[in-house]
Amino acid sequence: MLNKYSNANPVLLPLALEKSKDETRATEFAFWLASSLKRPLRVIHIVPNWEFIPMIPSLRSIVPNVTKELETAKAQIQKTIQSFTNNSLYSDVEVNTQAYYGEPAKWISAESASSSFTVMTAQQSKYGFLRKVATVYKVLAQCQGPVAVVPSETPFSYPAKNLRVLFADDLEDHTMEAASFTAWFVSRFKQSELAHAHVTPITPLVLERSVQLAMAGTQNSGENYPTVQSLHDKLLEDLTETMAKRFDRWGHELELSGTKYKPYLLQGHPGEEIDTVRKKTNPDIEIYGQHQSYHGNAFGKVAFESMMAADCPVFIVPYK
Q: How far is residue 184's CA from residue 70's CA, in Å, rounded to a whole number?
A: 37
What pTM value is reported for the model?
0.84
Residue-level pLDDT at 283: 93
Cα gap 91→250, rounded to integer Å? 32
Q: With CA atoms as reference, report the closest residue to 250 among 237, 240, 261.
A: 261
Residue 34 DSSP label = H
Q: Quote the CA–CA distance of 163 and 181 in Å, as a whole number.
A: 15
At 140 the pLDDT is 75
pLDDT for the residue 249: 86
Spatial neighbors of 317 by CB under 8 A, at least 6 apart, are 146, 175, 177, 178, 181, 182, 287, 288, 289, 290
Distance CA 10, CA 39 (A): 5
Task: Write the CA distances from 284 to 22, 74, 164, integer angstroms.
Answer: 19, 31, 5
Please state, as a whole number, how many other Cβ atoms lie within 10 Å of the Cβ of residue 197. Answer: 23
10-residue block means of pLDDT along the chain (320 residues)? 73 84 88 94 87 52 73 92 93 95 88 92 56 68 85 76 91 89 93 94 70 61 68 86 90 92 92 91 92 52 70 86
Tell me the C-alpha to C-alpha distance, in Å, between residue 120 and each of 26, 82, 101: 6, 18, 18
b/e code 147-185 from CB counts within 10 Å (16+ = b):
bbbbbbebebebeeeebbbbbbbbeeebbebbbbbbbbb
Q: How many Cβ atoms are within 10 Å of 109's Cβ, its own excluded?
A: 20
Give the pLDDT of residue 307.
67
